[in-house]
Amino acid sequence: MNATTQSLAVETSSTRMSTARLIGAYLEEIRSECVRYLRAPSFLLPTLLFPTVFYLMFGIFLGKANGPDAPRFFLAAYSTFGVMAPGLFGFGVSLAIERDGGLLLLKRALPMPPAAYLFGKMVMALLSASAIVALLLGMALVLAHVPLTFAQATATFFTSVLGVLPFCAMGLFVGSLIKGQGAPGVINLIYLPMAFLSGLWFPLTILPGFLQQLGPVWPSYHLNQLALNAVGLGQEGTWIHVGVLAIYTAVFIALAARRLRRHG
Amino acid sequence: MSHSHEPVARLIGTIKNYGALRALDGVDLMLHRGELLALLGPNGAGKSTAIGLLLGLTRADAGKAELFGRDPQNLEARRRIGVMLQSATLPATLHVGELLRLTASYYPSPRSLAESASLAGIGDLLKRPYAKLSGGQQRRVQFAMALCGRPELLFLDEPTVGMDIDARQALWAAIRRLVGEGCSVVLTTHYLEEAEALADRVCVLARGRVISEGSVDALRARVALKRVRCVTTLAPELLATWPEVSEVRQEGERVWLATAEAESLVRRLLAGDASLRELEVQRAGLAEAFTELTRDAGNEDILQREAA
C-alpha cells in the first residue's frame, strides 16, 4: 500500500509541468519558428521586397505625378499589402506543408502545448509585419518626405502590425483546406486579387462600379481604411472596420479549428 | 498493489472505419511496463491506425484507447511517451541541437541534450542543419527526439528504414538499453529480423484484426513449417505439384522449399534425385511464419467472400 502511494506520487510529479517549463516550451516554439524562417531567404526576401519595391516604384517615383498625397496614400496601401503576406503565407503555406509532411502530426502526438504551435507562427508573422511597416515608414519619411506627425507614424505602425492577425486567421483556414507544395500558388490566387479589389494598387474609384461596391467584402479593404485613417487620409469611422476585422478573425479561426479537428 | 502491473497502453475492442473501409475491426492490445511489443502486418493491415489511436491522433468509432489508464489526447498522458513517426519532414533549416532542445522543452524532466545525443549516436551532428543530413542520420535524430523526454513508453514506427547495418545495430542496442531501464516500446517494422531481435511479444495484424499474438518463439511454433534447401535437378515446377510442398522458390542454383512434413519431403527428394547435394533443413523463421499467417488470413477472407 505504502509503495503504491509512493509510486503514484512520483508519477504525478513527473508528469506535471512547472509553470516555468511551460512558458519555456512556448518560448522555444516561438524561437524555433522565427529562426527557421529567418534562415530561409525564400520566405523572407519576397515578403520584404515586394511591398518595398512596389512602394518605391509606384508610391514614390511614379506616385508624385498623381498628386502630392500619393506617397501618403500608397504608404497606407502598401503597408496593408505588405502585412497581408506574412499572415497568409506564414500560416497558410506552412500549415499546408506541415500537414502534408507529417510535422503537424508529430507535434500533435508529442506533448506540445497545442497553442504553442499557433503562438510561434503568430509571433513570426508579427515580427515580419513590423519589419515591413518599419521599412515602408522609413522610406516614406526619408525618401518621399511625407510630412507624418509622430502620432500618425506610430498609429500607422501599430495598425498595420496588428492588422496581420486577420490574415493569420485567414491563412490558417486556407492552410487547413489545402495540403502540400501547391499552397503558395493557391494563396497567391487569393492574395493578389484581394489586394487589387481592395484598392491597394489603384484607388477603388477607378474600378467599375460593381467592383467598387464589392470592396467592403474583403478584409484587406477594412485594414486599408484603418491604415488610411492612421496616415491622415481617412474619411470613415474606425471602429466599424476594427469590428469587421475582428469578426473575420473569429470566423476564420472557428472554421479552421473545426476543419483541423475533423481532418487533422 | 497491482499498480506496476497496470498496462501502460491498451486498445479495447477498437473499431475504426475510413469511409467504407474498415481499418480496425475489433482490435484488443495490451502493453506492460518494460515490454517491447512488435506490431507486424502487411501494408494496410491497420498498424498505423492502431498507433494513431494510441497517440490520440484519431478517435475510435467504437471501443477505447488508453495511455497509462487515460485518454491518449490527455496532455499529461502524452508527457510520458516518446514518438518516432514513419515519416515526418522536420524544419530543414533548424540545427539538430535546436530540434532536440525544442522537443525536450515539451517534457517536465527531459534528458540533457548530451545524454539524448549520445544515446542516439548523434553527438557529432548537433550543429548540423537537419536538411543536410543523410536519410539514416535524420532517422537517428528523430530517434533522439523520441527519447529526449525520458519517456516511459516509446512509439517507434519503422525506425530503421534507410539505415545501414551499423546504424541499425546501434539503434537496436539503444532500444535494448532503454527497455532494460524499464521503458516500454511499441515497434512497427517491415524487417522481421528486427522484431526477432528485439521483441518480447509479437502481434500480427491483418485486415484490421489481430491474427496472432505471443512471443516470437510461440509465433514460430504456431507455424509448423520448415525450410528445405538443396541443389537438385528436379524442376521447381514439378516440386510445386508435390503435396508436401507449400512453397517453392529458386535462389540462384538452389531450390528453397517450405514444408510442414520435412521428413517425408526429404525422403522423396533423395529418392527422386540421386545427385541431390547441399541439403539443409531448418525450422522456419519469423518471415515464413508471418507469410503463412497473413496468407491464411487472406484465404479465410476469400473463402468468406465466396461463401457469402
Percent of chain B with pLDDT over 70: 91
Flag if A110 and B98 touch (Cβ within 8 Å): no
**B109/A contact by beta carbon, under 8 A:** yes
Interface confidence, given as ipTM, is: 0.86
A-chain residues near B55 (CB < 8 A): 108-109
**Are B106 and A110 inside 8 Å of each other by CB?**
yes
pLDDT at A209 exceeding the cut of 90: no
With a CB cutoff of 8 Å and minimum separation 6, the contacts of B196 are B216, B285, B286
Integer Cα distance of B266 and B243 in angstroms? 13
Confidence of residue B303 (pLDDT cuts 50, 70, 90): very low
Q: Which residues of A touch B (CB under 8 A)?
A: 1, 4, 7-8, 14-18, 21, 24-25, 27-29, 32, 35-37, 39-40, 97-98, 101-103, 105-106, 108-113, 264
Joined grid coordinates for residue B127 = 550543429
Q: Mapped to the 3 state alphabet, what secondary structure does chain B carry?
A: CHHHHCCCEEEEEEEEEECCEEEEEEEEEEECCCCEEEEECCCCCCHHHHHHHHCCCCCCCEEEEEECCECCCCHHHHCCEEEECCCCCCCCCCEHHHHHHHHHCCCCCCCCHHHHHHHHCCHHHCCCEHHHCCHHHHHHHHHHHHHCCCCCEEEEECCCCCCCHHHHHHHHHHHHHHHHCCCEEEEECCCHHHHHHHCCEEEEEECCEEEEEECHHHHHHHCCCEEEEEECCCCHHHHHHCCCEEEEEEECCEEEEEECCHHHHHHHHHHHCCCCEEEEEEECCHHHHHHHHHHHHHHHHHHHHHHC
Side by side, the strands of the sheet bearing B184-188 are: B81-84, B153-157, B184-188, B36-40, B201-206, B209-214
Q: Is the pTM of this model over 0.95?
A: no
Taking only the tens place, the pLDDT of each residue in A12-24 is 556 788 899 999 9
Nearest chain B Cα distance for residue A128, angstroms = 18
Cβ <8 Å between B93 and A36 = yes
Lowest-pLDDT choice from A11-20, A187-196, B197-206 = A11-20
In order of their start, the domains of chain B are 7-220 (3.40.50.300), 224-283 (3.30.70)
In this prediction, residue B282 has a pLDDT band, given cuts at 50, 70 and 90, of: confident
- Burial bucket for residue A194 (CB in 10 Å: 0-12, 13-18, 19+): buried
Strands B36-40 and B201-206: parallel
pLDDT at B192 (0 to 100): 78
Q: Is pLDDT above 50 for B217?
A: yes
Cβ pair A14:B109 closer than 8 A: yes
- Nearest by CB: B85 against A16, A37, A102: A102
Grid cell of B251 as nine digits: 535462389
